[in-house]
Amino acid sequence: MRIMVVSESFAPATDPAADSARHVTDALITSGHDVLVFTTGPGSTSYQGARVLRTRALFSQAAVVRTVTEFGPDVALVLTPRAMGAAAMRALETLGVPMVVLDPTPLHPRVGRTLVSSTSGGRVLAAAGIRTEVWRPGVRTDEHHPGLRSADLHDRWAKVGTPRGPLSVVGYVGPVGLPTSNHVRRLARIAALDGVRLVVLGTGPGTATLKDAGAKLVGASTGLETARAIASLDVLVQPRKQDSTLTSARKALASGVPVVAFATGAARELVADGRTGVLVRPGTGGIAAAVARLVADEELRLRLAANARGSVSDRTWSEAVDELVGYCLPVAVAV
């Protein structure tokens, strides 16, 4: 099929949306589909042989019409649309291009087949009268696995051999919001815990706050560097109460790293409390307290780590995208 992938961001960006779009595109190309990526942000105009059209968040629909008419897609995959994605959906609807839309907001145009990456996301859209089906993202188990754990890197972060060490290494992977945002405040409390070294793989306006709290700032990274860093953690923390993708949590579990997250949104479906991580019910002591309990109990931490990879290894990106194409086929044929 000729498939147009619409994503708010794409490689070389490293945010969760770009990461998911890259994996979807990789799997589509490997399966022999002809792919056009429509996205925002700087970068190359080609990827693995596929054309990448880069635009501004606010763009001329006439330009999209020209490109889409040239490419002639059988179907468009619209991944987690926001401002740009919604504008692209309007242009595609005008052209009569069938769409499969993943994780839209209730305010988006109600066009095409709608998928959600969690049942909690489905409930939100159902309340707005939007019918959905659940499609679970995958993880590259060949890119993320326990064998990438670096003892040297872990011990350096844990300050082994220094007066303060050894510490438990707790990681956060993702964008860092404003210093006043709730997730930055939660991370700062974790960074201040006794016996903990918070390692942040991400950038944003709140990084100075986390550095002042004692966190190690690694910044944005890609590929093997990210995979090795995640595998070298003792615990990964997901400090947001709502996250539809949980890309970093999937990578951590595939790497044999337990996850601490709120028992809300998609995390409740991904992390098995007491088996692959710890889920925190809002109002029951906070996520920093849960991290403190886990790092203090090495036996529990090792048991959770032993179960982690098996919980996600049955859902690779290749399998996930094969299922996604299955959703596309009847939509494309119906036109």
In this predicted model, what pLDDT tens digit does every residue of 110-156 receive, in sequence order? 777 999 998 988 988 999 888 999 999 999 999 999 999 999 999 99
Q: Are residues 161 and 273 in the same domain?
A: yes
Question: What's the pLDDT at 244?
Answer: 65
CA distance 158 to 165: 6
Percentage of the chain with pLDDT > 70? 97
Give pLDDT tens digits for 198-219. 999 989 999 999 999 999 999 8
Q: Are residues 128 and 185 in the same domain?
A: no
Residues 289 and 187 in one domain: yes
pTM over 0.95: no
Q: Are residues 246 and 121 in the same domain?
A: no
Domain that residue 35 falls in: 2-138+316-334
Higher-confidence residue of 264 and 275: namely: 275
Do 20 and 109 fall within a single domain?
yes
Q: What is the pLDDT of residue 52?
A: 95
- pLDDT band of residue 28 (cuts 50, 70, 90) is very high
Count of structural domains within the chain: 2
- Helix and strand numbers (H, E) in the chain are 13, 14
Q: Same domain for 93 and 202?
A: no
Residues 323 and 266 in one domain: no
The CATH number covering residue 121 comes to 3.40.50.2000
Residues 222 and 254 in one domain: yes
Q: Over 60: is that where the pLDDT of 334 sits?
A: no
pLDDT score at 81 = 92
* Together in a domain, 123 and 176: no
Q: Are residues 99 and 239 in the same domain?
A: no
Amino acid symbol at 210: L
Give the C-alpha separation, 147 to 135, whole Å. 29
Same domain membership, residue 211 and residue 197: yes
**Residue 191: pLDDT band with limits 50, 70, 90:** very high
- 180 and 132 share a domain? no
At 83 the pLDDT is 87
Q: pLDDT over 90 for what percent of the chain?
A: 70
Q: Of 15, 1, 13, nearest to 248 (Cα)? A: 15
Residue with tokens 């095409």: 112
Residue 322: other Cβ atoms inside 10 A: 14
